[in-house]
Chain A
Amino acid sequence: QLQLQESGPGLVKPSETLSLTCTVSGGSISSSSYFWGWIRQPPGKGLEWIGIINYSGSTYYNPSLKSRVTVSVDTSRNQFSLKLSSVTAADTAVYYCMRHIPHIDYFDYWGQGTLVTVSS
């Protein structure tokens, strides 16, 4: 059974960089069949797609966040990561990592989510 688990600081100061890692178990991130990525959800609000990456490093980002987002992959550790720079309170959210199915472009496996609060 594929499992995804987010990890990283739960508190980030304004203007700093948010960094999260997703560890994949029960399957290989090196499969060419999938992309891996991030979605966030501000408290009490809806879902926002952030970006995705595949095993070879090809990426797609939400145009509204593109200037601040970097998603990277470490196949040796079966992990992928998110960096979001210059954060503000508006970036406070639960961040989910997920598996993206290409060609149908939906998300079938998700991590449990991790709350990141931006505050001084």
Chain B
Amino acid sequence: EIVLTQSPATLSLSPGERATLSCRASQSLSGYLAWYQQKPGQAPRLLIFDTSNRATGIPARFSGSGSGTDFTLTISSLEPEDFAVYYCQQRSNWPPALTFGGGTKVEIK
């Protein structure tokens, strides 16, 4: 089973600052990684798929990069609505399993 480790667990930043979130896999993902945003009491929302492709309607301030086992989600300038928990998800060894990382909480400093 591929394990995804996200860091840091919590990121404390101010609006307007740049956020850099990391997702590290236990083996190569061949670029098959997605990012989701989850706000309190809401379902997750797909942001990025296959490392760097923005989903429909996602603002350009969200970008993804990486390769092999190391991936990054960058929010270029935090808006108030961006403070949330972010999860990475891999599909590299699908089927049979689709797995998520443990999440990074981006909170207001």
Contacts and interface: CB of A to CB of B under 8 A. Distances in A.
Contacts of A11: none
Interface stretch (A25-33, A77-85, A102-110): A102-110
Interface of A: 46-49, 60-63, 96, 98, 104-108, 110-113
- 6 A-B pairs closest in CB distance: A110-B43, A105-B91, A47-B100, A49-B98, A106-B34, A106-B49
B34 A46 contact: no
Contacts of B94: 105
A102 to B, nearest CB: 10
27 contacts: A46-B100, A46-B103, A47-B36, A47-B44, A47-B87, A48-B100, A49-B98, A49-B99, A49-B100, A62-B96, A63-B96, A63-B97, A98-B43, A104-B49, A105-B32, A106-B46, A106-B91, A107-B36, A107-B44, A107-B46, A108-B46, A108-B55, A110-B43, A110-B44, A111-B43, A112-B42, A112-B43
Contacts, number: 51
B56 to A, nearest CB: 8
Q: Which of B32, B34, B46 has the most CB of A within 10 A?
A: B46
Nearest to B48: A106
Contacts of B55: 108
